[in-house]
Amino acid sequence: MRERMVAGDLYIADDPELAEEADRAHDLVAAYNATTSRQRPLRRRLLEQLLGSIGEEVELRPPLHVDYGTRVTVGPRTFANFGLMALDVAPITIGADVMIGPNVQLLTPTHPVDPDLRRAKWEAALPIVIGDNVWLGGGVVVCPGVTIGADTVVGAGAVVTRDLPARVVAVGNPARVVRSID
């Protein structure tokens, strides 16, 4: 099932192998979320165990929430404020020098429109890519399959449903480009 999931194909969400992988991640997240800012070395060790990769000088303020963790990569000098939710059924790539406001959601899972398939617990996922030096304001939601180009700013509360180019400001629901960054 794991191979189907990572490939973006439909898979059964409550597969025992996936449940074990998720349980491991949830244990690490619980330990991470129980730390204080005075425990930076412990936080770093927990993130190194949890995430696919993590650059230098990364700060992800608890609480943090992931599905599996292993499909999240975070570039150097990235900062995420409280409440990052990274549902990494598919890969989530966060570039270098990214600023993430509080309560941002990076959501890779998708679900079939067909009610019978949903009832049978089928789902799929599409990857998310956040370019270098992006700023995601508080409460931003990034939907499955979205790529956000380098140096882009996404305003607080925006819902990003499709790709955004580099060096723009985008706001709203759905997010729309309101200007370029010169």
The two three-digit tokens of residue 138, written as one number = 């508080």
**Which ranges of 11-160 does DSSP label H, i.e. alpha helix?**
16-33, 40-50, 115-119
111 is catalytic: yes
Q: Which of 65, 111, 167, 176 is catalytic?
A: 111
The 3-state DSSP class for residue 33 equals helix
Cα 70 to Cα 49: distance, rounded to the nearest angstrom? 8
Helix (H, G, I), strand (E, B) or coil at 88: coil
Torsion of CA 49, 52, 56, 62, to 10 degrees: -60
40-50 and 16-33 helices, crossing angle to 10°: 170
- Pairing of the two strands 176-180 and 168-171: antiparallel
Q: Count other C-beta atoms under 10 Å from residue 128's C-beta.
A: 25
Q: How far apart are CA 4 and CA 19, in angstroms?
A: 15
Q: Looking at the annotation, which residues are catalytic?
A: 111
